[in-house]
Structure 1
Amino acid sequence: MGSHAQAQLNITIDGGSASAIPIAVTDFVYPDGPLSTDISAIIRHDLARSGQFAPLSQDLLVEHPAADDDINMGTWRLLKADYIAYASIQSVSAGRIEIRFRLSSVADQKQLLALTLPIKTDQLRAAAHFIADKIYEEIIGVPGAFSTKLAYVTVTENSSGVHFQLMVSDADGFNPQSLVTSKEPLMSPAWSPDRQRIAYVSFEQGNSAIYLQHLKTGERTLMANFKGINSAPKFSPDGRHLAVTLSKGGNADIY
């Protein structure tokens, strides 16, 4: 099962907005050589996945500015980009870099966003998702969700039978981690508002039961295991309570 736990979740987006915003996300300039993770490629993928943006293909990115003075807005107007995102990266110390990111409007040649991000080199993907969130919020006007996590259930089968796994991953399917493995069905994962707990339904005891999984500690708490239906957990906005569907009184009701 180890290979399944590390398998990347593939997400396919069908369709998108016909009025998707064209944006150029250039390759970030790093004089010390390529990094282990392509930050600009992740940002392009995030924005395209939203359906709100149409990043220019990499073969059209004829210039790679590192600073404001390097930008030729005429080039990006010809390529019909509404916005251009660019950055320079500098080494700060062993295992640490600094990203200096800028977002500008091509039409009015106005800088919209300037970020300086000192990070560790093992935080490249997180930094890319953070920048994509900021681009999305600046242009669309609502916070991006690229830095969030997914909770989902996988079903695999091998010689020992069927296995169900409760998984979490980055929003783009990378960095999958297995939280719970069971030979009985798992379903209905629900995040707490603080993203530190997941409520879900398990049939491992022969009947549906609701559990609470704590992500930091790995602790698991049984929340409901009444006779009949125990299903559909949902956190209250403050994260202090769970709404669940139970049939312990005969009919299925919300508690």
Structure 2
Amino acid sequence: MKQLRTIIIGLLVLAMTASAASRITIKITRGVDSPTNIAVVPFLNSTGQQLPESMSQVIANDLELSGRFKSLSRTAMPGLPSQQESIVMRDWRALNQDYIVIGRVDNDNGRLRMTMELFDVFTGQRAITPKTYYAQPNAMRAVAHRMSDEIYEHITGTRGIFSTKLAYIVKSQRGRSTEYRLEVADYDGANAVVAHRTPMPIISPKWSPDSKKIAFVTFDEVGRSRIDMLDLASGRVTNEIQFKGINGAPAFSPDGSKLAFTNSQDGNPNIYVKDLRSGRVQQLTDHWGIDTEAAWSQNGRQIVFTSDRGGMPQLYMVRATGGRAERITFEGNYNARAQFSADGQYIVYVHGKGGDNFNIAAMNMASRQTRILTATTLDESPSLAPNGSMLVYGTKQQGKGVLAWVSVDGQVRSTMPVVDGDVREPAWSPYRGD
């Protein structure tokens, strides 16, 4: 119990070091053995003006960063077609390309009209009929992400994640003043904005299922923890939970109507659930050990949580209505911070076997078999992409905190090092509107 209590206290006073201008870039360290070859031809710009974004470059980067595609460089392209009639398929087949993407950007009464087409090089047939989007110039990157999603889903059969967001916490030091920021960026780290700033520490950000709010833990002037809620549209922050004792580890139910959290008002930390509509609070666990880090199953019927009731931090499962908890992890002396996959078939979590060796693992819920996904040593805070194919987590490289990706099958890996300072506690958004 002492080990987990130390971990909880450490989380509640966690300090992340980063500069005021933190910037994330992504570098693929490992992809699939046989990626799909795709040529994203530079879009024809008929607007007569310089555009703020290269649609083709954003799309190519998106597909490359998934680890499942290899994009053809512009210099290797045999031509720059912008319409089907201009594509000479034999030239692209000679370059072993599987698909080719073409498009154009036109002016439409002050807006931009952006059109994309996908062709199967082997058959020579159109794979995606022309998709047209309208937006202002400053929204070009968002449109490119949507196009990437279309392409990715058509080819792989899995919904893309390029239009999703990442939230994370940074800390900056200005003289003797410390500032903590909750930042939100595109999935690839671009377009980062400060969603909330405060002189008090922030930890444990969690998205609401509709991606409109983020719950997080912060502190008052005397160090008492509380759970606040940020409305992303208005920027308004409201206090949601501030009971006696520790308040931490918020987690939204799949329908967004409830919030699970940890509280120690009766002495030991236990799992509670608050109905966000009625305000009613239910105590879910009642044990002398420390119960924390609740996460809901996708059907909302079960909750997995971390507890040291067996002597070491392990994962337990309990019905969302309460009852007897079942231990589900037995390998290693530390298993914590779990999250269910979108289909409920597996969970991902932090796994340790002793010392400072902590990795991200995935457990198949049917077979209870565990697979280690990462090869670094100080991995933490896993957060799954909404399609369940990838997860982002925090780790260390050369003494600096970085964000990293890994696919759930372990084949694809990439890192997102911050140029200046450290970043912690990543949280991957759900699909917007889901």
- Residue 114 of structure 2 aligns with which residue? 99
Q: Give how far 1:6 is off.
A: 5.6
Alignment equivalent of 2:81, drawn from 65, 68, 75: 65
Alignment equivalent of 2:245, drawn from 228, 240, 243: 228
- How far apart, in 2, do the equivalents of 1:204 and 1:22 lie? 53
- How far apart, in 1, do the equivalents of 2:234 and 2:57 lie? 33
Q: Give how far 1:240 is off.
A: 1.4
Greater percentage in strand: 2
- Residue 156 of structure 1 aligns with which residue? 172
CA RMSD of aligned residues (A): 1.7
- How far apart, in 1, do the equivalents of 2:75 and 2:161 lie? 27
Is residue 247 from structure 1 mapped to residue 283 from structure 2 by the alignment?
no
- Residue 227 of structure 2 aligns with which residue? 210
Name the SS of the counterpart of 2:146 in structure 1.
helix
Greater percentage in helix: 1
Is residue 76 from structure 1 mapped to residue 73 from structure 2 by the alignment?
no
- How far apart, in 2, do the equivalents of 1:38 and 1:250 lie? 57
- How far apart, in 2, do the equivalents of 1:36 and 1:73 lie? 31
Kept in 2: contact 1:165–1:182 (CA 8 A): yes
- How far apart, in 1, do the equivalents of 2:62 and 2:38 lie? 12
Tell me: CA distance 1:138–1:5, structure 2 relative to 1, closer, same or farther (3 Å).
Answer: farther
Q: Give how far 1:25 is off.
A: 0.5
Percent identity between matched residues is 37
- Residue by residue, what CA displacement relative to the aligned partner does 1:202-251 show, whole Å, maximum 9, x if unpaired? 12441221111001122212112223321111111111111112222222
- Residue by residue, what CA displacement relative to the aligned partner does 1:16-36 show, whole Å, maximum 9, x if unpaired? 222221111110011325412
- How far apart, in 2, do the equivalents of 1:151 and 1:245 lie? 21
**Structure 2: runs of 5 or more not aligned:** 1-18, 273-434
Kept in 1: contact 2:40–2:60 (CA 8 A): yes
Is residue 11 from structure 1 mapped to residue 2 from structure 2 by the alignment?
no
Q: Give how far 1:197 is off.
A: 0.2
- Residue 155 of structure 2 aligns with which residue? 139
Q: Which moved more, 1:116-125 or 1:237-246?
A: 116-125
- Residue by residue, what CA displacement relative to the aligned partner does 1:117-143 show, whole Å, maximum 9, x if unpaired? 222222211111110111111111111
Q: Give how far 1:78 is off.
A: 1.4
- Residue by residue, what CA displacement relative to the aligned partner does 1:15-58 show, whole Å, maximum 9, x if unpaired? 22222211111100113254121111111111111111111122
Q: Give how far 1:161 is off.
A: 3.2
Kept in 1: contact 2:196–2:235 (CA 8 A): no
- Residue by residue, what CA displacement relative to the aligned partner does 1:64-109 show, whole Å, maximum 9, x if unpaired? 1111111111111111111111112222222x12122100111111
Alignment equivalent of 2:124, drawn from 96, 109, 114: 109
- Residue 186 of structure 1 aligns with which residue? 202
Kept in 1: contact 2:149–2:162 (CA 8 A): yes
Q: Which moved more, 1:240-249 or 1:9-18?
A: 9-18
- Residue by residue, what CA displacement relative to the aligned partner does 1:129-160 show, whole Å, maximum 9, x if unpaired? 11011111111111111111111001222212
- How far apart, in 2, do the equivalents of 1:57 and 1:129 lie? 19
Structure 1 length normalisation: TM-score?
Answer: 0.92
Kept in 2: contact 1:156–1:164 (CA 8 A): yes
Alignment equivalent of 1:49, drawn from 52, 57, 65: 65
- How far apart, in 1, do the equivalents of 2:255 and 2:166 lie? 20
Question: What is the identity, as a one-letter code, of the residue corresponding to 1:119?
Answer: A
Question: What is the identity, as a one-letter code, of the residue corresponding to 1:155?
Answer: K
- How far apart, in 1, do the equivalents of 2:37 and 2:56 lie? 15
- Residue by residue, what CA displacement relative to the aligned partner does 1:171-215 show, whole Å, maximum 9, x if unpaired? 121221112222332111111111110001112441221111001
Pick 1 or 2: higher relative contact order, CA cutoff 8 A, min separation 6.
Answer: 2
- How far apart, in 2, do the equivalents of 1:123 and 1:92 lie? 15
- Residue 85 of structure 1 aligns with which residue? 101
Question: What is the identity, as a one-letter code, of the residue corresponding to 1:64?
Answer: L
Q: Which moved more, 1:177-186 or 1:65-74?
A: 177-186
